[in-house]
Chain A
């Protein structure tokens, strides 16, 4: 087990947490109005700097956990402050670290910036903590901690039905989490009964022997929490109302970062702890994923409210992530991981632009906006790029994940992949419809006077656009870091369930048989160079 001299991950989690406390303690009257926001942005940028340092120091071809911090926290209960990162969590941390400062910059609070910034920073700490926790209880604490700031952000700065949205979100996700806690305790006790050691550390618990039924029940308990959080069909109904009623910052962070806690939890905990049950329940999850893809897309087609439309498109996108996960192939799971990052970037950009649109027009009803490309060509251009990325046009990031997920699923569960492929057709339908309603058509006088994106807004969205293009054209650096950890995880599942990967997933098929014809040779006959 490698130890790093400097506890990067602990620092990564503590900076925003301390920052939140500092912001909360800066008195409101004595300082200039922008002080809290400035401090908050500075804190999140420092966090980003730490994350970038971690990225640079990350060992590319190492599959296991890196930057491990392991301290006993509550000895009698076997709870550790155990942090670690591998290729699966690395880019989720990066995504979160990038999106929080952009959110603070691009989606500012209308009132009481002090509390708002403090809550956002606390949320950042909780999200980052969730992504790097290797102790089940620690994860659970961070996972639950995300609820509190989110509840207050929705309830405090949201729109008309914010109260209903916040309560629904809180109770629904909290109900899911309760199962998770019981499941975690049960796993630890089972492990204790087998080894005599009470611990909540994932690396130890992943070798717990579970009977078939126990595994399935525990899997269901864990997945209940993650399925609500993601959300996975049919546990999603809190999300359209929460995304719609939340302020822009809330929508961005809920959909881009917090949703990934659910899918990340499935990959990190379900697959590691319950490989048998994962295999057993694969058909169920694949089916829910495909229903989510198609259902989310179909319902999105009927939405007239842009935020609701994006919420349902998100349901479809998360279906793809779940599909890739349960394909349990190198391509599928790697695709799921990178798609979590891609979806986070895309939906953050979508909600930011919709938020800016709302600031200008006080509406996100598609039928109240028309021909905005006339007066706001830059906004239209940004929306176009993000929309195309979301549809999965190759050359942009959304395609990479979608392609890997579908091809990785196709080689093992052909018909699920085929059904899901229809989802990519419908995805074009609703997004292009939305674009046509809002940006095409004959603009009214009001539309003609709508301001285009200001320079500050262009600078905020630019990093997202650059990442969307970069990850679509050259995803190799990201894939190279994700794949080793994914392969290790799949090997763990395969070993526990005595299954084997299909030859194409590992490259042992006709392509190696035909290695004589390298890429320089020609179709048909032999060729000249």
Chain B
């Protein structure tokens, strides 16, 4: 079974090829069904490989599969190789599983779209790329997946390409990620320079020879990649814009899978990170800062998807914080739990948007629990899970991260717990506005008349008029909701099924055994956990209390937060506009006037000389040019001859 690992990637890739060749003929809904089947098959193979891996015994359960030699030049021998171990297997399982569910959901969500087959074409390619990313056995194969998912993200964000905002957002996502890619690839260069190989096994066997400064440099360069892919400060602004993509894309790529690639990468290279405490500290600080900043922004957004997007950024910050604190297991736990509840929340929001005929403005929703009961119940579970209310999965996962933050440094914990309060608050604000309160969608004009805030929101299709009565979605959309709701609710069992079967025990061997200890006494853990639960409940209470009664509280929605701490504006001012000016200057002045001016000027000089010598010459400009050249050449030749006879 283990040697079938390649099938996990090949199946969605074949699905992609089928869509390229026959997608248009298959049409709606066959194309979607075919795509779903291929991803589902990939999930089944993954489960098979997983159970086989469970029977393998040893310090680390693992399996390497070399498929072919990819780039062999001199001392550089790079193989297209796959590596299965508990870490990559965990990723593969949740990636294929959630992908299959979201494919199924998309069959309903994308129904009637003009480019229906193309959507599934991209989606299959994305799944294949993501699996290459997690299964690669060397940095470069991982990089293939890394750029592959970025490319698919670009294609899918800009999927509704006739919308200018979608086109711009897709490009923005690609370029931010490209910055990260440059960091990643530079890390690969440095690694190759110091180790002579990019295979993880060889790199980790040689950690001692790389040198501390170099290890720190490699980690920080990789962190640039992580900051872009997993939307950390300062490279996070692309993720909110990426919400221009269809909602299943937001759920799959921009919540559950792709954005966790950075977290996965840091886990993968844990021996390097372990060897560089400096880098680990910076990672932890970036994570904590991101978690906090994004949570504050999420408190003031009116677009339902943007709230969720910033919430994702914030949760990713938690994961990165956990990694910086050396708690890889906690990061993975939160990653998996987050994939469940955030995937669920996005799909739920998609159901809402669908039910409200493409309305995304929270201020135009309200009281939807009456009209969309399945969506409400499932969404509600996701809401309480992310808020950290026990005994749902989010409580356990976030608790794990916070305990480790406490152990690393109490200051990190303070930021973490305050962020947890904000999380419970903004999610309750969202839920209150969407599912409770009055039926604001019946109103003629949006309550929120603040044009400033709406400037960056996608066009509401119903600006002005009332929205037709919402409706519950079809089974293809509600079944994935229900499955994810069950997982989001019960995901906490991963932490403590049996001592033998817990997630932490399963992935622990990957992390060299020595990294994760129970830092704290049982009583401390109990105290911290109780505090987590209390904070969550307080946050939920405040959020609901404030936002069920009124949808309009400008004092709680500062412009500073609505504009995402002005990160976009800052980037534009320090990079965007100067860059554009530099390009213009280079093109119109340096290129046209200086460099080309010198060339044409030489030509002019020749022409003038020609005019002056017209009486004794034929008058053809070309001839003069040639004579000048001949002169230069003769001079040059003279110099040379002088030299070798001298």
Closest chain B CB from A107 CB (angstroms): 26
Chain B residues near A172: list those with CB within 8 A: 599
For B9-31 the 0/1 string (1 means CB < 8 A from A) is: 00000000000000000000000
CB distance from A331 to the nearest CB of B (A): 5
- A528, B57: Cβ atoms under 8 Å? yes
Q: Mark B160-173, 1 if CB is under 8 A from A, else 0.
A: 01111011101100
Given the complex, which residues of B lie within 8 Å of A473, measured CB to CB?
70
Q: Known contacts A442-B162, A503-B196; is A178 also within 8 Å of B629 by CB?
A: yes
Residues of B within 8 A of A214 (CB): 640, 643-644
Stretch at the interface among B141-149, B419-427, B463-471: B141-149
Cα(A186)–Cα(B642), bound, Å:
11
With A377-B118, A510-B196: A441-B189 Cβ-Cβ less than 8 Å: no
Whether the Cβ atoms of B640 and A480 lie closer than 8 Å is: no
B568 within 8 A of A: no
When C-beta atoms are compared, the residue in chain A nearest to B56 turns out to be A528
B178 near A425 with CB under 8 A, answer yes
In the complex, A520 Cα to B209 Cα: how many Å? 21
Interface residue? A298 (CB, 8 A): yes
- Check B161 against A527 for contact (C-beta < 8 Å): no
Per-position contact with A for B49-67: 1 when CB-CB < 8 Å, else 0? Answer: 0000000111111111010
Asked whether B510 is an interface residue with its Cβ less than 8 Å from the other chain, the reply is: yes
* Contact call B185/A522, Cβ cutoff below 8 A: no
The answer, among B68, B205, B579, B590, for a CB contact under 8 Å with A514, is B205
State whether the Cβ of A145 lies closer than 8 Å to any Cβ in chain B: no
On whether the beta carbons of B636 and A221 are closer than 8 Å, the reply is yes
Give B584's nearest chain A residue, CB to CB: A302
Q: How far is the CB of B328 from chain A (nearest CB, A)?
A: 12
Give A460 Cβ to nearest chain B Cβ, in Å.
Answer: 18
* List of B residues within 8 angstroms of A298 by Cβ: 582-583, 586
Asked if A81 lies at the interface with its beta carbon under 8 angstroms from chain B, I say: no
Q: Are A394 and B144 in contact (CB under 8 A)?
A: yes
Interface residues on A, range: 35 or more
CB neighbors of B among A175-203 (8 A): 175, 178-179, 181-182, 185-186, 189-190, 193
B458 within 8 A of A: no
Q: Given the interface contacts A234-B595, A334-B74, A504-B193, does A388 sit within 8 Å of B62 by beta carbon?
A: no
Knowing A214-B644, A403-B71, A525-B513 are in contact, say whether A520-B175 is a contact too (CB < 8 A). Answer: no
Is B637 in contact with A523, judged by CB distance below 8 angstroms? no
Q: How far is the CA of A429 from the CA of B118 in the complex (A)?
A: 24
Asked whether, in the complex, the Cβ of A404 is within 8 Å of the Cβ of B71, the reply is: yes
Q: Are A217 and B643 in contact (CB under 8 A)?
A: yes
Give the residues in chain A near B168, CB-CB below 8 Å: 436
Q: A509-B195, A509-B196 are in contact. Are A519 and B137 (CB under 8 A)?
A: yes
CB <8 Å contact, B161 and A476 = no
Q: Which residues of B contact A186 (CB under 8 A)?
A: 637, 640-641, 644
Is A373 positioned at the interface, with any CB of B under 8 Å from its CB? yes
Query: B59 touching A519 by the CB < 8 A rule?
Result: no
- State A522–B189 Cα separation when bound (angstroms): 22
Q: Mark B512-535, 1 if CB is under 8 A from A, else 0.
A: 110000000000000000000000
Q: Does A470 have its Cβ within 8 Å of any Cβ on chain B?
A: no
Contact A528 B599 (CB under 8 A): no
Is B587 touching A302 in the complex (CB atoms < 8 A)?
yes
Residues A441 and B271 in contact, CB atoms below 8 Å apart: no
Is A280 positioned at the interface, with any CB of B under 8 Å from its CB? no
Distance from A508 Cβ to chain B, minimum over Cβ atoms (Å): 7
Q: How far is the CA of A529 from the CA of B181 in the complex (A)?
A: 32
- The chain B residue sitting closest to A514, CB to CB, is B205
| B59 adjacent to A527 (CB under 8 Å) | yes
For A295, the closest partner residue in chain B by CB is B586
Q: Is A345 interfacial (CB-CB < 8 Å)?
A: no
Q: Which of A407, A422, A512 contacts B192, CB < 8 Å?
A: A407
For B154, give the chain A residue with the smallest CB separation.
A432
Which of A46-54, A96-104, A253-261, A410-418 is the interface stretch?
A410-418
Give the one of A175, A303, A516, A522 with max B CB within 10 A: A522
Report the minimum CB–CB distance from B124 to chain A (whole Å).
15
Determine whether the beta carbon of B603 is less than 8 Å from that of A509: no
Query: Would A524 and B271 count as touching, CB distance under 8 A?
Result: yes
State how many angstroms separate the Cβ of B52 from the closest Cβ of chain A.
12
B317 close to chain A: CB less than 8 A: no
Judge whether B200 and A388 touch: CB under 8 Å. Answer: no
Q: Tell me if B357 is interfacial: C-beta within 8 Å of chain A.
A: no
Contact present for A424 and B640 (CB under 8 Å): no
List, in ascending order, chain B residues with CB within 8 A of A443's CB. Answer: 162
Q: How far is the CA of A524 from the CA of B87 in the complex (A)?
A: 13
CB neighbours of B588 from chain A (8 A): 302
Chain A positions within 8 Å of B511 at CB level: 524
A522 touches B62 (CB 8 A): yes
A373 partner residues in chain B, CB cutoff 8 A: 161
Cross-chain contact A527 with B62 (CB below 8 angstroms): yes
Closest to B168 in A: A436
Residue B604 interfacial (CB < 8 Å): no
Query: Is the Cβ of B75 less than 8 Å from the Cβ of A330?
Result: yes
Please state if B59 and A193 are interface contacts (CB–CB under 8 Å): no
Check B85 against A475 for contact (C-beta < 8 Å). no
Q: A331-B73, A524-B511 are in contact. Are A428 and B162 (CB under 8 A)?
A: no
Contact B73 A479 (CB under 8 A): yes
Is B499 among interface residues, defined by CB-CB distance under 8 A? Answer: no
Query: Interface readout for B327-359 with A: 1 if CB under 8 Å, 0 if not?
Result: 000000000000000000000000000000000
Q: A371-B162, A395-B148 are in contact. Are A302 and B583 (CB under 8 A)?
A: yes
B60–A519 contact, CB under 8 A? Answer: no
A483 touches B (CB below 8 Å) = yes
A502–B194 alpha-carbon span in the complex (Å) = 11
- The answer to the question of B483 belonging to the interface, with a C-beta cut-off of 8 Å to chain A, is no
Whether A60 is near chain B, meaning CB under 8 Å from some CB there, is no
Cβ of A518: which chain B residues have Cβ within 8 Å of it? Answer: 201
In the complex, A137→B587 CA distance in Å? 38
* Interface contact A439-B60, CB-CB below 8 Å: no
Residues A440 and B161 in contact in the complex (CB < 8 Å), given A425-B175, A523-B201, A528-B58? yes
**B71: contacting residue among A211, A400, A523, CB under 8 A:** A400
Interface presence of A167 (CB below 8 A): yes
Closest B residue, CB atoms, query A417:
B189
- Residues A402-461 near B (CB distance < 8 A): 403-404, 406-408, 410-411, 414, 417-418, 421-422, 424-425, 428-429, 432-433, 436, 439-443
Residues of B within 8 A of A503 (CB): 75, 196
**Which residue of B has the minimal Cβ distance to A411?**
B193
- Does B498 make an interface contact (CB < 8 A)? no
Those of A466-522 within 8 Å (CB) of chain B: 473-476, 479-480, 483, 487, 502-514, 516-522
- Cα of A367 to Cα of B161 in the assembled complex, Å: 16
Which residues of B sit under 8 angstroms from A521, Cβ to Cβ?
A: 201, 205
- Considering the chains assembled together, what is the distance between the CA atoms of A441 and B511 in angstroms? 48
Alpha-carbon distance between A506 and B197 when the two chains are bound, in angstroms: 11
Q: Which residues of B contact A524 (CB under 8 A)?
A: 59-60, 204, 271, 509-513
Stretch at the interface among B76-84, B293-301, B485-493: B76-84
Q: How far is the CB of A181 from chain B (nearest CB, A)?
A: 8
Can you name 30 A-B pairs with beta carbons within 8 Å? A167-B622, A171-B626, A178-B632, A182-B637, A185-B637, A211-B644, A213-B643, A238-B599, A299-B591, A301-B579, A330-B74, A371-B161, A407-B189, A410-B189, A410-B192, A421-B186, A428-B175, A440-B158, A474-B68, A475-B70, A476-B72, A483-B73, A506-B75, A507-B76, A513-B206, A516-B205, A517-B205, A519-B64, A523-B85, A523-B200
Q: Which 4 A-B pairs have the closest CB atoms?
A: A528-B58, A507-B75, A330-B74, A509-B196
Binding site for B on A (CB under 8 A): 167-168, 171-172, 174-175, 178-179, 181-182, 185-186, 189-190, 193, 211, 213-214, 217-218, 221, 234, 236-238, 295, 298-299, 301-303, 329-331, 334-335, 371, 373-374, 377, 384, 388, 391, 393-395, 400, 403-404, 406-408, 410-411, 414, 417-418, 421-422, 424-425, 428-429, 432-433, 436, 439-443, 473-476, 479-480, 483, 487, 502-514, 516-529
Taking A168-B603, A237-B596, A298-B586 as known contacts, 5 extra A-B pairs with beta carbons closer than 8 A to each other, sorted by chain A number, are A237-B595, A400-B71, A421-B186, A433-B171, A441-B161
